Amino acid sequence: MIPKYRLSCVGGGEVVEDISLLSCPNGHDSLLRTGYCSRKLHLAPHEGMYRYLAWLPVTTPLLPSGGAVTFTSDELSRELGLTRLSVSFSGYFPERGATLSTGSFKELEASPTMQRLQELGGKIPVIASAGNTGRAFAELSARCKRPVVIVIPEKAIPRLWTTEPAHDIFLVAVKGDYLDAIVLSNTLAGVPGCVPEGGAKNVARRDGMGTVMLDAAVTTGRIPDHYFQAVGSGTGAIAAWEAAMRLIRDGSYGDRLPQLHLAQNEPFTPMVSAWAARRREIIPAEDMPDAVESIGKVMSDVLTNRNPPYGIRGGLFDALLETQGCMYSVPNAAGAKAEKLIRETVGIDPDPAAAIATAALVEAVEKDIIGAGDHILLNLTGGGYERIREDFTLHAVIPAAVIRPDEPRDALVTRLREWIRHHGRKPDH
Ligand SMILES: *Cc1c(COP(=O)(O)O)cnc(C)c1O
């Protein structure tokens, strides 16, 4: 059988034979990327994101899975004076066909990641998260009854809920911040039977998010001229760029990359700052001084990644370079106004990050950075939490352990090994 896709190193261009790898075996500081043998985007007869199975690195869909939906809002277009504005929504908005029940586009990453690991041999992913990612993986675990290990900062415990009771989650809370969670997750990912989920380096995650761009192109018949999104790690924006490259190669959706318009939330704006200087490196002292204090001030904390895949080959700097991208620094006040605008025009409560993206679009209109008749895609990356609370019973995920960052891990590792014995690789799969 001809394999569905190949992995190659963006920096070196060489094919990577072992498709389970997360980084280049030849040591290039680069993302790996999938190249699909099917040049054409043939639509599959599935609901949600698996309509785009042709360009997802799995052979079988993980169903049921929702997807991003693309629509137009006459009210929002009129309010902004734009004639060809499309909205992509990844969240819960049943009237529009949006059924991501954890409310964010992290579900688009979690679903193919879980499926791919299953197909590659059933290792258990270990995820460090500050909230939305952990919840997305928790939900997928509950729905598909597959094991996951999730490590979060203690203060994120209230964000970890599922819409079905979950029985296959090993949740660890750390009395510290997101960085402490990452450090602990690295230890746990070393336990036999587990693998690090990989973040932006995980191609399933990026290609899953790429379905936002695919759905927009299929719905509107073309690649947009401009793509607006709020970024934390930039993974979603890299994915949009990669999806657009595949669409160009397909030949049916146009031949120009969309210009990326990406927003961060003031005062924590490391990528805005580095890009303004057209610098590939983020210099902490210059681009994110007083990081901890700044992170405490933003309205959208999913946008506060301190170590984003920005400079790495194939990462966000390259995406901005190739698309002549723009970055926006959005203050909370502009975000709050944009949140109101989305509620009143689109009729849904946006995730704070989606409000930040909208505020960047407002700024681009006001400053004439885009034309009133340009084809624009606004990615509302999350929202609908109010409706989720009405329509579902939310089940809290209870931590197996709450530990201090400096505590010895031996006891925890022993418990995890024990848990894997019960939850790892079920005979029925
Ligand atoms: C994570 C997240 C983002 C940022 O996405 P990145 O891929 O990390 O840049 C934006 N919006 C929402 C709702 C998110 O959960």
pLDDT tens track for 178-231: 888 999 999 999 999 999 999 999 999 999 999 999 999 999 999 999 999 999
- 248 and 271 Cβ atoms separated by less than 8 Å: no
For residue 96, what are its two tokens? 């529009």
Residue 381 C-alpha to ligand 1 middle, in angstroms? 7
CA of 143 to the centre of ligand 1 (A): 22
379 CB within 6 A, ligand 1: no
Would the pTM count as exceeding 0.85? Answer: yes
Please indicate whether residue 302, judged by its CB atom, sits closer than 6 Å to ligand 1: yes
Distance 237 CA to ligand 1 centre (A): 9
Output the CA 379–ligand 1 centroid distance in Å.
10
Q: Fold for domain 69-103+205-388?
A: Rossmann fold (3.40.50)
| Residues 224, 260 contacting (CB under 8 angstroms) | no
> What is the fold of 105-202+393-422?
Rossmann fold (3.40.50)
Contact in structure between 67 and 43 (CB atoms under 8 Å): no
381 vs 40, 108, 248, 377, CA distance in Å?
Answer: 26, 10, 24, 12
Is 351 near ligand 1, meaning CB less than 6 Å away? yes
The contacts of residue 230 (CB under 8 Å, 6+ apart) are: 262, 263, 264, 265, 300, 303, 330, 353, 354, 356, 357, 360, 381
Residue to substitute in 228, 242, 381, 388 for testing ligand 1 pocket (most ligand atoms within 8 angstroms of CB): 381
- Where along the chain do the CATH 3.40.50.1100 domains lie? 69-103+205-388, 105-202+393-422
User: CB of 104 closer than 6 A to ligand 1?
Assistant: yes
Task: Output the pLDDT for position 426.
Answer: 52
Q: How far apart are CA 231 and CA 381, in angstroms?
A: 10
Predicted confidence at residue 424, as pLDDT, reads: 62
First to last CA, the chain: 22
Q: What is the CA radius of gyration of the chain?
A: 20
Contact residues for 264 (Cβ-Cβ < 8 A; gap 6+): 230, 231, 232, 270, 271, 272, 303, 327, 328, 329, 330, 356
pLDDT of residue 176: 87
Q: Is the CB of 381 under 6 A from ligand 1?
A: yes
Residues of the chain with pLDDT under 50: 427-429
Taking the CA of residue 90 as reference, the ligand 1 atom at the shortest distance is 13
Is the CB of 102 inside a 6 Å radius of any atom of ligand 1? Answer: no
Q: How far apart are CA 402 and CA 384, in angstroms?
A: 30
* CA 383 to ligand 1: nearest atom: 13
Instruction: Determine which residue's CA is closest to atom 1 belonging to ligand 1.
Output: 302
Q: How far is the CA of 209 from the centre of ligand 1 (A)?
A: 10
Q: Is 139 in the pocket of ligand 1 (CB under 6 A)?
A: no
SS3 210: helix
Instruction: Name the amino acid, one letter, at 276.
Output: A
| pLDDT tens digits for range 399-416 | 999 999 889 999 999 999
